Amino acid sequence: MSNPTDCRYTREHEWVRKDGDTYVVGITHYAQDSLGDVVFVELPEVGASISEGASFGVVESVKAASDLYAPLSGEIVEVNERLRDEPDLVNHHPYDAGWMLRVRGSAGASLDGLMDADAYAVYLETVH
Amino acid sequence: MTTTEHTESAVHAGAPLRPASGHSIFAGRQEGIPVVFEKSVKGRRAGKLPALDVPTVDLDEIIPAGERRQELPLPELSELDVVRHFTRLSKRNYSIESEFYPLGSCTMKYNPKIDENVAALPGFRNLHPLQPASTVQGALQVIHDIQRQLAEITGLPGVSTQPVAGAHGELTGILMVRAAHLKQGRMRRKVLIPDSAHGTNPATAAMAGYESITIGHDRITGELDFEDFKSKLDDDCAAIMITLPNTLGLFERRIEEICRLAHEVGCFVYCDGANLNALVGQIRPGDLGVDLLHVNLHKTFAVPHGGGGPGGGAICVAAALEPFLPAPLVVQAPDGSFAYDADRPDSIGRVHSYQGNFNAILRSYAYILQLGKEGLGDLGANAVLNANYMRALLADDFSFYVDRICMHEFVLDGRPFKEFGVRTLDIAKRLIDHGYHPPTIYFPLIAPEAIMIEPTETESKETMDAFANALIAVAHEARTTPSVVQNAPHMTPVGRLDEVRAARQPDLRWQAPVS
């Protein structure tokens, strides 16, 4: 699965996509493939603040539990409620139905420090 | 003919499999064993009580009707029903006493029977923890003496045997770190933890109120990324938690430098002693500069484990931290008698009732005396030798996450099998058909598709040869007939379990069918 070109990527394998005046966040195909079958996604409450680089939740697979890291700072305006009952959406549709957060970026929030799809593909070659 | 062909043709023929090792504990697919409730027959009894020889009391007088359950659906069975039920279940158990248990990071070694005998001596077994100290002098001497033994083994003079698990020892240690900093008026916020650490390390830091800061690892050496460590070390760091050898089974060769730099900024060095088995009798963490270390008595010192306890997580600390040890400690008075010392104003207090799991302490005490100084030195050396022997046996058929001489365990890289559609989980499941408990898989998290093997010092060359042959046979199968591996196990009472469904929709309690 190729990584969408309308997303930016973190070194911890989260993606973020600008959608109007908010940002949508999820984990990449590589991340879900490494994790294996996702059984639980723990997400913050709507209205909570997240800060760039800090953990905002946990994704648990049959193998392990892994922290999720915020690709930008801001306030959460929506979380993907479907993941409560269908965490496997993260495996099957990591870039659309398996999204996790919708965030209103804080003032000055920028995706400039993140990788584009090409840079992320190169980065994946260097990981492991 | 290779064993691979043999087992594969057997699968296709639908014939009972004979494992490569020839000693599977399973006889192939069997009917499930019903839960004991389902075997209940109304009115059946295991025993009969004699007629009452005391006056009867009207139940209504002592328990109001509204407080009483009208039905208690216990199974009704004969004694023989119960004995057969549990004996059958026990035959499906897998233990170190029946087979090899190469579970990396868990040190599943054989625990000598003499240590069980010592723990079962009536003089110990029938003690009550609230007896006056004067009546339990022998038990107190055991605790006192094992504290001194562990101090000598680790090079850390202050010891408490109260913690009852590794993570419990960790939390005890980091709470002592916190108390020591606060005593000096230092409010520190961070604990440094390598990304190869056991998950309990960051959990411990969080439980003790710290933020855990991750340090990366060097992809070539498998050791902590020294530059990353230096860049994150500052005077806001309360401690660094480091595992020695680390979870890849590799010694952190810059440990002394790490300790020195940490101490320069007043940061304590906590050593996760989970892997102490590799070091026993060879080096002492305290001599390297480590300030605190917990000892998993159940791993290193012969306490049976694998069923969730009872374990032992004794905490050993440098002199500067001794005042903060849990209270009470067992001490020896000038007249030679043993007593509880609860007058320890800087102590973090109790972390467990009484003196921890005394029966675990007893086994470890007997084991340490049994091996003696020379035997303990052989322990660490043979654990490392065995791991390297097995590593060499597997080198032609597997790759390693880090390819270098290891300590007491090593990590195989399962990724090369991905191109055949086989994953580490499949390899682990197929090993069960060969009669082996699978190694640890998917840990440490930094090693993708990890297969982590720890033979321990108690396994013979023959056992290790047989296991390596089984693993190599599975590797060949993965490359040639991957479906056999993907659908394993084939010989167990039940086949591949749906682990995803088990995690998402756990069904944890038997419930009577609605009639």
Burial grade of B343 (CB within 10 A; 0-12, 13-18, 19 or more): exposed
Contact (CB<8Å) B504/A40: yes
Q: Does position B102 have pLDDT exceeding 70, yes or no? A: yes
- What average pLDDT does this structure show over B408-412? 98
User: Does residue B261 fall inside a structural domain?
Assistant: yes
- CATH number at B238 reads 3.40.640.10
Q: Does position A111 have pLDDT exceeding 50, yes or no? A: yes
Helical pair B137-154 and B358-394, crossing angle rounded to 10 deg: 30
CA distance linking residue B50 with residue B412, whole number of Å: 63
Q: Does position B21 have pLDDT exceeding 50, yes or no? A: no
In the prediction, which pLDDT does B22 show? 43
CA distance linking residue A89 with residue B350, whole number of Å: 46
Greatest C-alpha distance within chain A? 38
In the prediction, which pLDDT does B422 show? 96
Q: Does position B48 have pLDDT exceeding 90, yes or no? A: no
CA distance linking residue B331 with residue B349, whole number of Å: 16
In the prediction, which pLDDT does B29 show? 61
Q: Out of B443, B448, B499, whose CB is closest to A34? A: B448
Q: Which two tokens stand for residue A48?
A: 């909570």
At position B256, the amino acid (one-letter code) is: E
Contact (CB<8Å) B500/A88: yes
- Interface with A, mutate which of B442, B451, B497 (most A CBs under 10 A): B442
Q: Is A32 on the interface with B (CB under 8 A)?
A: no
At position A58, the amino acid (one-letter code) is: V
User: Does residue B348 fall inside a structural domain?
Assistant: yes
- If pLDDT is split at 50, 70 and 90, which confidence band does A38 have? very high
Contacts of A66 in chain B (CB under 8 A): 445
**Mean of pLDDT over chain A:** 92
The answer to whether B249 touches B407, Cβ cutoff 8 Å, is: yes
- If pLDDT is split at 50, 70 and 90, which confidence band does B515 have? low
Q: Which of A24-33, A119-128, B405-414, B424-433 has the lowest mean pLDDT?
A: A119-128
Q: Does position B414 have pLDDT exceeding 50, yes or no? A: yes
Q: Is A64 on the interface with B (CB under 8 A)?
A: yes
**DSSP 8-state class, residue B103:** B
Contacts of B415 in chain A (CB under 8 A): 128
Q: Does position B3 have pLDDT exceeding 50, yes or no? A: no
- What average pLDDT does this structure show over B488-513? 86
Q: Out of A39, A64, A128, whose CB is closest to B445? A: A64
- If pLDDT is split at 50, 70 and 90, which confidence band does B5 have? very low
Q: In what order do the strands lie in the sheet with B399-400?
A: B399-400, B410-413, B450-453, B440-441
CA distance linking residue B77 with residue B41, whole number of Å: 6
- Per DSSP bridges, beta strands B329-332 and B313-317 are unpaired
Stronger pLDDT, A107 or B272, i.e. the higher one: B272
CA distance linking residue A68 with residue B194, whole number of Å: 18
User: Does residue B306 fall inside a structural domain?
Assistant: yes
User: Does residue B301 fall inside a structural domain?
Assistant: yes
- What average pLDDT does this structure show over B270-285? 96
CA distance linking residue B170 with residue B172, whole number of Å: 5
User: Does residue B152 fall inside a structural domain?
Assistant: yes
CA distances from B446 to B195, B199, B271, B274, B451 (A): 7, 12, 19, 18, 12
Residues 6 or more apart whose Cβ sits within 8 Å of residue B480: B4, B8
Domains annotated on chain A, with CATH: 8-121 (2.40.50.100)
CA distance linking residue B424 with residue B455, whole number of Å: 19
Place of tokens 């279940």: B89
Residues 6 or more apart whose Cβ sits within 8 Å of residue B153: B280, B281, B284, B295, B368, B376
Nearest-CA distance A19 → chain B (Å): 31
Q: Does position B9 have pLDDT exceeding 50, yes or no? A: no
What is the residue range of B256's domain? 127-356
Contacts of B218 in chain A (CB under 8 A): none
Q: Which of B115-129, B175-189, B330-344, B499-513 has the lowest mean pLDDT?
A: B499-513
Contacts of B219 in chain A (CB under 8 A): 128
In the prediction, which pLDDT does B27 show? 53
- What average pLDDT does this structure show over B51-79? 90
Contacts of A34 in chain B (CB under 8 A): 448
Q: Is A65 on the interface with B (CB under 8 A)?
A: yes
Per-residue pLDDT of B358-388, as tens digits, reads: 999 999 999 999 999 999 999 999 999 999 9
Residues of B with CB under 8 A from a CB of A: 199, 219, 415, 425, 441-443, 445, 448, 499-500, 503-504
- What average pLDDT does this structure show over B62-75? 88
Place of tokens 């065995």: B386
Domain count, chain B: 1
Helical pair B461-480 and B424-433, crossing angle rounded to 10 deg: 120
In the prediction, which pLDDT does B307 show? 73
Nearest-CA distance A21 → chain B (Å): 32
Nearest-CA distance A127 → chain B (Å): 10
Stronger pLDDT, B292 or B72, i.e. the higher one: B292
Q: Out of B441, B443, B503, whose CB is closest to A39? A: B503
CA distance linking residue B168 with residue B313, whole number of Å: 6
User: Does residue B188 fall inside a structural domain?
Assistant: yes
Per-residue pLDDT of B149-179, as tens digits, reads: 999 999 999 999 999 999 999 999 999 999 9
- Interface with A, mutate which of B105, B219, B504, B505 (most A CBs under 10 A): B504
In the prediction, which pLDDT does B500 show? 82
Q: Does position B90 have pLDDT exceeding 50, yes or no? A: yes
- If pLDDT is split at 50, 70 and 90, which confidence band does B180 have? very high
- Per DSSP bridges, beta strands B237-243 and B190-194 are parallel
- If pLDDT is split at 50, 70 and 90, which confidence band does B12 have? very low
Percent of chain A whose predicted confidence (pLDDT) is above 70? 98
- What average pLDDT does this structure show over B29-53? 87
Contact (CB<8Å) A40/B415: no
Q: Which two tokens stand for residue B69?
A: 């359950």
CA distance linking residue B251 with residue B400, whole number of Å: 16
Q: Does position B18 have pLDDT exceeding 80, yes or no? A: no
Q: Does position B489 have pLDDT exceeding 80, yes or no? A: yes
Q: Is A55 on the interface with B (CB under 8 A)?
A: no
- What average pLDDT does this structure show over B195-200? 94
User: Does residue B400 fall inside a structural domain?
Assistant: no
User: Does residue B268 fall inside a structural domain?
Assistant: yes
Q: Does position B394 have pLDDT exceeding 90, yes or no? A: yes
Q: Does position B13 have pLDDT exceeding 70, yes or no? A: no
**Mean of pLDDT over chain B:** 91
Instruction: Give the chain B residue whose CA is nearest to the CA of A61.
Output: B500
Nearest-CA distance A35 → chain B (Å): 9
CA distance linking residue B150 with residue B356, whole number of Å: 15
Contacts of A40 in chain B (CB under 8 A): 503-504
Instruction: Give the chain A residue whose CA is nearest to the CA of B423.
Output: A36
Contact (CB<8Å) B442/A64: yes
